[in-house]
Chains A and B, each alone.
Chain A
Amino acid sequence: MKMRIATISLLLVCAGCSSMGVQPWEREILAREDMQLTADPLEAATDDHIYFSKEASSGGRGFGGGGCGCN
């Protein structure tokens, strides 16, 4: 039930997505290394492994998007 509500809200958010954003030439900040969703992949992989070993939850993170939008 909780999952259903969460997923529907996510889809509603997506519906409003088409009007948001920046022009291709306004992506200077988004191109920064520290503005990437996974800025430090080594630290992220290390943490994922530690918490997977010590807790009952794992995963969730993933993928790209943002960035300089080049090519």
Chain B
Amino acid sequence: MAAVGSAAVGAGATKMTVANRKKERSVSATLAAATCALLGTTVAAPVDAQEEPTWDFNTSLLYYGEDENRVQDISLKSIIRRLFDDDRTLSLGITIDSLTGATPSGAIRQDGPQSFTRPSGNSAYTEAGGKLPLDDTFLDTRLAITAGWQQPAGEKGLFSVGMSTSKEYDYLHIGVNASYGHDFNNRNTTLSAGFAFANDSIEPVGGAPTPFSGMLDVGDTSNRIGDQDKDVLDVILGVSQVINKNLLVQANYSFSQSDGYLNNPYKVLSLVDGVTGDTLPRIPGPNGGPSGQYLFESRPDERTQHSLYTQAKYFMNGKVLDASYRFLTDDWEIDSHTLDLRYRLPIGDTRYIEPHVRYYTQSEAEFYRLSLDSSAALPQFASSDYRLGNFDAITAGLKYGWKTRNDNDMSIRLEWYQQSGTVPTVQLIGNQGSRDNYPDLNAVIMQFSYRFSR
């Protein structure tokens, strides 16, 4: 069981050693404290100072930007930890995101221009012919807060409990989580179990639309069904095993159950002609409105996911390889594989460079549709959200890290994230076959981090 950094020792003799205080330095093999993570809430602290630190601050500034005027996000994130005696830790996380830019509405490209009503119902927007319809209503600021407490339980146990909440203009999340881990086999094996439960409220601008209802003219909000919510339960079981002095492996099984409103209230599907594949036209109202027939998406009201995640950390003469693989499957018929590789190369004693490659592939949801065929019966569920489609994604990047003169940690990373997907051929109707239908994604990720203990 790894130990967590702790508060200053209170014994009288400490005053003596503190009297010959030198500048803080790190031991040649940098010390690690506990790493206890549950479902995204992670804590770890290096113990560097001569006097045990009582505070640990880890802050980063992130820029995420997609090309073609799509989503851009600037995010400030901070994890603040108060370290108490004997590996007990209180942590507080704060994240502020500022989102701008446009996101695909789910409607397909057409040769001619198209107009749509904004989600609020208050105005309309147009997309030029040949372009992928993007809804740019998304100017949003999000605030997320997490809090957690972690402490040893007996000699070989580690217990943690926490809560999380986040708020953006149309979304509120509240969640609780807890986990327990126990060491066996001379602390070479750790078995862990954890759960998280969340309730999310969705308050879409203008109110959630009735699934499969048509997009209406500006000012018409007769198809709204008000605010919605969903519950998510996550359970995770894990085992980690020290293989030898240089190799640590981990395997986790996760189960996730979502119930409630799982739709994206802003996404639509184009209703198309059964022969040409072109969107059925519509005369917009006097104040503006859709130029075609678009139906709001409809997803099932439950989703069950299982995943198996394995990871290895391998030390090779100063270099560290971090390799992980995750397989996920769910009852929406989505299967995904994620392979993630990081290779940390030290430069001298105080710096490192870390190339990173991630490969991701997913198969489309059973109800994923590029568009809805008006000559066929309406399916039970349908969504053209590209995030539920069939695509491959690659991330490639580089991270550079260094220790400052005060023995604090800084790092910067620059990565490219690219998604390219395909629509199942059987779904392509008429003219759709000649167009580029899948909204491929190209994004850049830049993050600067600073960490210090006090």
Report the minimum CB–CB distance from B273 to chain A (whole Å).
29
The A-B contact count (CB < 8 A) is 278
- In the complex, B417 has a CB within 8 A of chain A: yes
A59/B313 in contact, CB under 8 A: no
- In the complex, B447 has a CB within 8 A of chain A: yes
Given contacts A24-B186, A68-B3, contact A13 B79 (CB under 8 A): no
User: How many chain A residues touch the partner (CB < 8 A)?
Assistant: 57
Interface residues of A in 20-35 (CB under 8 A from B): 20-24, 26-35
Given contacts A35-B320, A38-B37, A42-B58, contact A70 B3 (CB under 8 A): yes
A71–B155 Cα gap in the complex (Å)?
Answer: 7
Q: Which residues of A contact B (CB under 8 A)?
A: 2-3, 6-7, 10, 13-14, 17-18, 20-24, 26-46, 48-51, 54-71
Q: Which residues of B contact A69 (CB under 8 A)?
A: 1-2, 183, 187-188
Q: Which residues of A contact B250 (CB under 8 A)?
A: 37, 63, 65-66
Question: Taking CB as reference atom, which chain A residue is nearest B152?
Answer: A71
> Can you offer 23 A-B residue contacts whose CB atoms are under 8 A?
A6-B308, A17-B185, A20-B244, A21-B186, A22-B245, A31-B32, A32-B29, A33-B30, A34-B320, A38-B37, A39-B344, A45-B41, A45-B79, A55-B336, A59-B40, A61-B37, A62-B194, A62-B236, A63-B236, A64-B37, A66-B242, A69-B2, A70-B2
A38/B35 in contact, CB under 8 A: yes
Q: Which residues of A contact B417 (CB under 8 A)?
A: 50, 54
A64–B252 Cα gap in the complex (Å)?
Answer: 11
A36–B353 Cα gap in the complex (Å)?
Answer: 17
A60/B344 in contact, CB under 8 A: no
From A31, A61, A71, give the contact of B252 (CB < 8 A).
A61
- In the complex, B158 has a CB within 8 A of chain A: yes
From A13, A50, A66, give the contact of B313 (CB < 8 A).
A66
Report the minimum CB–CB distance from B447 to chain A (whole Å).
6
A17–B187 Cα gap in the complex (Å)?
Answer: 11
Q: Which residues of A contact B328 (CB under 8 A)?
A: 57, 60
A60/B254 in contact, CB under 8 A: yes
Given contacts A21-B188, A39-B44, contact A10 B239 (CB under 8 A): yes
B362/A33 in contact, CB under 8 A: no
B37/A41 in contact, CB under 8 A: yes
